[in-house]
Structure formats: C-alpha cells, structure tokens
Amino acid sequence: MKIFLLFLAFILFISCSDEKVKPQVKYDYFKGEIPIHESWNSKVIFSSDGKLKAILYAKHLKKYELQKITLIEGVKVDFYDKNQKKTTTLTSKLGKVDDVTMDMYAIDSVVAINDSGTVLKTDELMWRNKDRKIISDKFVSIKSKDEIIEGYGFESDQQLTNYVIFNITYSAVLTNKERK
C-alpha cells in the first residue's frame, strides 16, 4: 500500500510541472508583433470640430503600434452628414484602419446602405478620410430604387448619392413592378 501511495504522489508531482502550465502566446501575422490594445464589442466615435462624423462598432478590435494599423472583426460604421444626421451604414466581416491617414478598408461581404435605400455590395472597399470618399477597384453592385448597376471600379461620396462605376458590366432600369 505504501508503494502505491508513493507512486501516486510521484505521478501527481510530475503532472504539475511548469512545462504544461505555461500559456501559449498567440502572435498575429505582423511579424511577431502583438497588439498594444485589444477590445471587444467596441464603439469608436469620430468627430471633427465637435461634429459627429462617424461611429464605428466592432466585435473585436486590435491595434498594432509598429505597423500603425488597427484590425477589426465584425465591422459596422454609421456615417453622418454635416448636420449630424445618419446617412449611410456600412457593414463587413473584417476591416482595417491605417492609423496615420485614418483611411478605413472594409473587407469581405461589404454592404453599404444609405438613407434612401441605395445598396452597395462588394468584396472590398476603402473609405478615404481626406475627402470622405468610398472607392473600390473590385466588382461592385449598386441597387437603387430606379436601377441596378454592376461593374469594376467605383467611387462615391460617403452618402452613396453621387457615384460612378468605371467599367460597367450590367445596367438595368427598374420598372414599377420590380421596385416593390
């Protein structure tokens, strides 16, 4: 019996070694750089001269100091006009913010909807901070109450009211029956 108890104590002692207790550090793809800030279910407010410009909602946000990049999972952005009225909502699975220029990239299942019902769909786009333009060189589809336009290359104001598709591959005017 004493040998059995001694053996059991030895097994318990071995199973408590330091090697098995050490946590593994998960490095992200930025050459081993780990985020300096990380948050979940975040709300970030962008303003200029005391006026609301946009509100970013993120399921998971990671800020990298050396790369000057913020990565976002579960993106939703509400854009506001000069009167601080919400005009457009943009969603995507992933996003990235250049912390120097404050340009935002929406990636994967990007959808933008303005207050008049115009819907933009694409795989990737950029919101350019300096002029508040939405641009993409990818395939885009825009459906408004009057038309559907598809093509490659796109530029618009952030309200999706003045837009251009550079290489149109499909265009259709909607009839009254199709608008419903």
Question: What is the CA angle 162-179-113, rounded to 5?
Answer: 40
Tell me the three-class secondary structure of 6-52, residue by residue.
HHHHHHHHHHCCHHHHCCCCCCCCCCCCCCCEEEEEEEEEEEECCEE
The model's pLDDT over 90-99, given as tens digits with 9 standing for 90+, comes to 999 999 999 9
Q: How far apart are CA 62 and CA 39, in angstroms?
A: 7
Mean per-residue pLDDT, 61-67: 92
Give tens-digit pLDDT for 73-132: 999 999 998 888 999 999 999 999 999 988 999 999 999 999 999 999 999 999 998 888
Helix, strand or coil, per DSSP, at residue 5: helix
59 versus 29: the higher-pLDDT residue is 59
Per-residue pLDDT averaged across 146-163, rounded?
A: 92
Rounded to whole angstroms, the Cα distance separating 168 from 28 reads 38
Over 70: is that where the pLDDT of 27 sits?
A: no
- C-alpha distances (whole Å) from 161 to each of 1, 96, 124, 147, 172 are 84, 24, 19, 13, 18
What letter would DSSP give residue 138? E
Those residues with Cβ within 8 angstroms of residue 107's Cβ, 6 or more apart along the chain or in another chain = 92, 93, 94, 95, 96, 123, 124
Whole-prediction pTM value?
0.76
What is the per-residue pLDDT for 102?
Answer: 87
Which region among 28-42, 107-121, 156-170 has the lowest average model confidence (pLDDT)?
A: 28-42
Exposure on the CB side of residue 6, measured as CA atoms within 13 A: 3
From CA 156, how far away is CA 171, in angstroms rounded? 17
**Where does residue 160 fall: left (phi above 0), alpha (psi -120 to 50 degrees), or beta otherwise?**
left
Q: Catalogue all structural domains in the chain, each as residue range(s) with its CATH number.
A: 25-179 (2.60.450.10)
